[in-house]
Structure 1
Amino acid sequence: FIAGLGAFTALFAAVIAVTQRRFKAVLAYSTISQLGYMMMAVGVGAFSASMFHLMTHAFFKAMLFLCAGAVMHALHDETDITKMGGLYQKMPLTFAAMVIGVLAIAGIPPLSGFFSKDEILAAVMHASTPLYVMATVTSFLTAFYMARLLILAFLGENRSEHEAHEVDARMWLPMMALALLTIGSGLWGYFGGFSQWVHAGVPHQEAIDWTVAGTSTALALLAFAAAYQIYGRHSFRASMERKRFGLAYRIVYNKFYIDELYAHIRTRFVYGTAVVLRWIDEKIFDGTMYGLGGYALATSDLLTESANGQAQRYVVVFYTGVLILLCYALYWAVQVLAYWGGGAGR
């Protein structure tokens, strides 16, 4: 169940990332997809592979988000990648870091993502063929949407209204440091025995499964070619995707309308239920409490009238009560005598 949920998450988020236009939105859904990869590995028992991918992903995804921040800074907070283009000339260091990150997350050797993703794919292949197919398709989509992001933002013609510039050293130095970790962490993890170092279960892959690695690498290169064919060969226009892919594009671009469905449920069900519960709380529970309080106040007013401190009234009330009790006792005494007298006569 955990492996299936992870595989679905990885594939579902990757499909959504293919159509997103905001720079950080693509990376955010990519992160969700990669987390699905990690949970899929956990589900098939490949704990060390999951931890390995968690480490390598941390390096290249952090670098990619820093690249996004650098681009937004250079373009006055512009986030729409369809309004970018040609940044490789103006931002060469950011472009270099971006290329390294894209190649790493796509699983191109010898970058870190190649080694960690290979361990997951190999473990999943030996556990479940359907899950392996889903993971492989996700791998292809990952390479495709990251290549799309790179092409639209950094290659082609400039579609921005602002003049871009490279960021200063305070921004590109962290990117370069993460780029070095992206390049070296996979090699270190593979040859340095990452699974023994973290003690996260028994390692599933002592050596690279070249069937799996070769297939995923070939699919990544094919995805790069497809992205270039669609977005790189011709002058890109924002309406091109909508016209080419039609209804399917609109559904995926709107994230399968999950946000709208959630808003509808929240408005109609959650808020409606809250109104009903508020009425119950105010009219029934609060009303009951207020009624009991009013009853206590009314009773106290009545008792206050009788307890006014006049000794004469207390004596009258006392002897009236005594008289009532005596009359009651006399009544029962007469009844008892009549009962016994009648029995004695018979």
Structure 2
Amino acid sequence: MTASLHLWLLPLIPFAGFLVNGLIGRRLPKALVTGVALIATLIPFLQVANIWFHLGSTSLPYVENLGTWISAGPFHADFTLQLDHLTMIMLLVVTGVGFLIHIYSAGYMAHEEGYWRFFAYLNLFMFFMLTLVLSENFLLMFVGWEGVGLASYLLIGFYFLRDSAANAGKKAFVVNRIGDFGFLLAMFLMVQHFGTLSYSGVFAQITQHPEWQGGFLTAIAIFLVLGATGKSAQIPLYVWLPDAMEGPTPVSALIHAATMVTAGIYMVARTHVLFDRSPFTLSIIAIIGAATAFFAATIGLVQTDIKRVLAYSTVSQLGYMFLACGVASYTSGIFHLVTHAFFKALLFLAAGSVIHALSGEQDMRVMGGLRKKIPVTFWTMTAGVVAISGIPPFAGFFSKDEILYQAFISPNGGKILWFVGLVTAFLTSFYMFRLWYLTFFGESRAVEQAHDAQGHDDHGHAHGHGVHESPWIMTGPLVILAILSVIGGWIGVPAALHGHNEIANFLSPVFGSAESGGSNQIALILAVVSTLVAIAGWFTAHILYFAKPELPGKLAHSLHGVYTLLLNKYKVDELYGLVVMALMIISRYLLKALVDTGIVDGTGYVAGYTAQGFGALVARIQSGNIRSYAGWLSLGAAVLLVVTYFGLTAHLSLR
């Protein structure tokens, strides 16, 4: 029998950190604020590590019921937490990467006003993210789902005095509400058809009825996909994530790269029993994932803000994870989720180190020549760039290659999906090495001159000290994440590359045996092809941004239309703006004319005129003229006599 694991402590401790710093942090010394925030994240990580080391003696899935939450007739929902192999993977990522980012934030945010508020929000996010991951029912998951959205809104708009940051926070909040509406509809349908929102209850009923295929299961799955597209920034609800870069860089690393945005992928993987009964929905997921991966990668080709390049890269990599789930390869999707958490958190934090070194500058066009000035940042970011590009033996190669292989052997349009993913891999390698060359190589493009004035930028970093390497509290997490970006993929080396795919074996109790099909020979050939494509992307970037740096400008001029279209992000934001404006016009004028004037005002007019008509009739009757009253009395008596006569006649005829 498994001893109590006290899973409830995992989210509760960060929540306690949020309360301390949120309520009295303003009056606490900065060191104490930092200590509270770090301890509130370290303890859950140590608890998760302890559970991991004793996992062999733990009976999984392990369920911890904390009491009844809602009880209404036959329906009830409990505060129930669950630990299984999938939860274990997510807990390691959330607490491990989250703790490293908290450490980094202590250095990056050191000069910020509202330092206590920032760490209170970070701890609040950890509370909701751990609640989401540990939940055993859809309703509790939804609490965490909404909570991470709230924390994201607060952290994106941390620099609330800047209109761009405030607007970005509102945009993220509104767009995610659209997806959350889909999640709510899915839960309503579950209550209607299953009578419960418990994972075990829903999945058991689906398992007991093999004849259930499509139908209402497809409706539920599609609504869940709508929720996932909002949280995990997929077409058509991806537009909030690039603008979320207005928040502090550690926020981008923690929430918009490593954890929160993967909630949609986690939700689809968690509910795979439902999605497996709806091949139509899986096809939609695969198409959305492949389209998003390619679409976002093309936009990333021409962006000049270092964080925005990484933002579109995140949207693209999330598309790969969606593609994996769409071909029912949930293991490879979770595998890429793990490796992406390593190298994308590293890339964002390294970008933050560059921004810190340049006193807040984010435009790559005024960077260059930083390789020797910030060497730790350079080498760690190099590890992240190579990893995301899919070059072996770095982490991104193994997870991305497994997704491409599973797409290739998928029976439903797999070759097309594989080709789109392969082209996206080339684009990813190209724009990431473009970022690498523009930032670290060539001549310095007047960085020193742009930042030699005393003062502070919008991020609060002091000017006037030249380009400088970040302190150890920032570079330390970079080194750890760089190591993970190198070796993190070795847990999923496939048999074709003489590995044992440990992550697939570990997750097999959740998803079943590792995906089969194809052959080791095909897998090896595809691995070679994807590697060559990644190297080709590197080589192309090398030619354009190192060997012949004048070429990009000429290409942009000759392909002005395409370049402008990509630079303007296909004008999707403007298109959405027109849609919103049209809806506002409809609601303000057409609906006003129909509902307010037609129905509400019309009903009032009809009632008023009706009362006025009856009043006029009564006024004519109540004239005060005795002869008139006698006439009305005689008329009434005559009517009464006629009605009585015909009534008696009818009664007698029936007898």
TM-score (norm 1): 0.81
Tell me what 2:399 maps to.
116
Q: Does 1:34 align with 2:317?
A: yes
Q: Does 1:262 align with 2:576?
A: yes
Whether the 8 Å contact between 2:399 and 2:489 is mirrored in structure 1 is yes
Letter aligned with residue 432 of structure 2: M
* Unaligned stretches of 5+ residues in structure 1: 306-312, 340-346
Tell me what 2:586 maps to.
273
Whether the 8 Å contact between 1:21 and 1:80 is mirrored in structure 2 is yes
Letter aligned with residue 222 of structure 1: A
Q: Does 1:242 align with 2:573?
A: no
3-state SS of 1:167 partner: coil
Q: Does 1:138 align with 2:420?
A: no
3-state SS of 1:88 partner: coil
CA separation in 1, counterparts of 2:515 and 2:636? 93
Whether the 8 Å contact between 2:544 and 2:551 is mirrored in structure 1 is no
Whether the 8 Å contact between 1:22 and 1:79 is mirrored in structure 2 is yes
CA separation in 2, counterparts of 1:286 and 1:262? 31
| Structure with max Cα Rg | 1
Instruction: Compute the displacement of 1:18 (Å).
Output: 0.9
Q: Does 1:286 align with 2:593?
A: no
Q: Does 1:172 align with 2:455?
A: no
Instruction: Compute the displacement of 1:281 (Å).
Output: 2.7
Given candidates 153, 157, 160, the residue that maps to 2:443 is: 157
Instruction: Compute the displacement of 1:239 (Å).
Output: 4.7
Q: In the superposition, relative to structure 1, how do residues 327 and 51 fare at CA in structure 2: closer, same or farther (>3 Å)? A: same
CA separation in 2, counterparts of 1:248 and 1:60? 30
Instruction: Compute the displacement of 1:227 (Å).
Output: 0.4
Tell me what 1:216 maps to.
530
Letter aligned with residue 197 of structure 1: F
CA separation in 2, counterparts of 1:254 and 1:287? 45
Instruction: Note the alpha carbon deviations across 1:78-119, whole angstroms, 9 max, x for none.
Output: 222112111222221111121011110111111111111121
3-state SS of 2:436 partner: helix
Q: How does 1:57-96 map to 2 (within 5 A)?
A: 57-96=340-379
Name whichever of 33-42 and 141-150 sits farther off. 33-42
Tell me what 2:132 maps to.
none
Letter aligned with residue 16 of structure 1: I
Given candidates 5, 9, 21, the residue that maps to 2:304 is: 21
3-state SS of 1:90 partner: coil
Instruction: Note the alpha carbon deviations across 1:122-180, whole angstroms, 9 max, x for none.
Output: 22222322222221111111110100011111111111223322122222222222222
CA separation in 1, counterparts of 2:568 and 2:613? 64
Of structures 1 and 2, the one scoring higher in RCO (CA 8 A, sep 6+) is: 1
CA separation in 2, counterparts of 1:98 and 1:35? 20
CA separation in 2, counterparts of 1:33 and 1:331? 86
CA separation in 1, counterparts of 2:386 and 2:515? 24
Whether the 8 Å contact between 1:63 and 1:178 is mirrored in structure 2 is yes
Instruction: Note the alpha carbon deviations across 1:295-340, whole angstroms, 9 max, x for none.
Output: 69979999xx9xxxxxxx9xxxx9999877556556778999xx9x
Whether the 8 Å contact between 1:3 and 1:44 is mirrored in structure 2 is yes
CA separation in 1, counterparts of 2:643 and 2:403? 94
Tell me what 1:230 maps to.
544
Q: In the superposition, relative to structure 1, how do residues 22 and 298 fare at CA in structure 2: closer, same or farther (>3 Å)? A: same
CA separation in 2, counterparts of 1:225 and 1:188? 29
Tell me what 2:513 maps to.
202
Tell me what 2:502 maps to.
193
Letter aligned with residue 117 of structure 1: K
CA separation in 2, counterparts of 1:327 and 1:221? 105
Q: In the superposition, relative to structure 1, how do residues 155 and 300 fare at CA in structure 2: closer, same or farther (>3 Å)? A: farther
Instruction: Compute the displacement of 1:31 (Å).
Output: 1.3
Instruction: Note the alpha carbon deviations across 1:44-66, whole angstroms, 9 max, x for none.
Output: 22221111111111111111111
Q: In the superposition, relative to structure 1, how do residues 323 and 202 fare at CA in structure 2: closer, same or farther (>3 Å)? A: same
3-state SS of 1:270 partner: helix
Q: In the superposition, relative to structure 1, how do residues 134 and 86 fare at CA in structure 2: closer, same or farther (>3 Å)? A: same
Letter aligned with residue 584 of structure 2: Y
TM-score (norm 2): 0.45
Name whichever of 189-198 and 134-143 sits farther off. 189-198
Name whichever of 171-180 and 19-28 sits farther off. 171-180
Instruction: Note the alpha carbon deviations across 1:33-53, whole angstroms, 9 max, x for none.
Output: 111212222222222111111
Whether the 8 Å contact between 1:72 and 1:79 is mirrored in structure 2 is yes
Kindly tell me the number of residue pairs found equivalent between the two proteins. 328
Instruction: Compute the displacement of 1:207 (Å).
Output: 6.3
Tell me what 2:334 maps to.
51
Instruction: Note the alpha carbon deviations across 1:159-218, whole angstroms, 9 max, x for none.
Output: 122332212222222222222222222112335610121233432379693211111112
3-state SS of 2:372 partner: helix
CA separation in 1, counterparts of 2:596 and 2:341? 51
* Unaligned stretches of 5+ residues in structure 2: 1-282, 452-465, 494-499, 650-655
Instruction: Note the alpha carbon deviations across 1:257-282, whole angstroms, 9 max, x for none.
Output: 22222223333x22321221123232
Whether the 8 Å contact between 2:545 and 2:552 is mirrored in structure 1 is no
Whether the 8 Å contact between 1:3 and 1:42 is mirrored in structure 2 is yes
Tell me what 1:308 maps to.
none
Letter aligned with residue 188 of structure 1: I
Whether the 8 Å contact between 2:302 and 2:566 is mirrored in structure 1 is yes
Q: How does 1:303-318 map to 2 (within 5 A)?
A: none
Q: How does 1:87-106 map to 2 (within 5 A)?
A: 87-106=370-389
CA separation in 2, counterparts of 1:43 and 1:335? 77
Q: What root-mean-square deviation, in Å, do the aligned CA atoms of Structure 1 and Structure 2 show? A: 3.5
CA separation in 1, counterparts of 2:377 and 2:611? 76
Whether the 8 Å contact between 2:544 and 2:552 is mirrored in structure 1 is no
Q: In the superposition, relative to structure 1, how do residues 238 and 320 fare at CA in structure 2: closer, same or farther (>3 Å)? A: farther
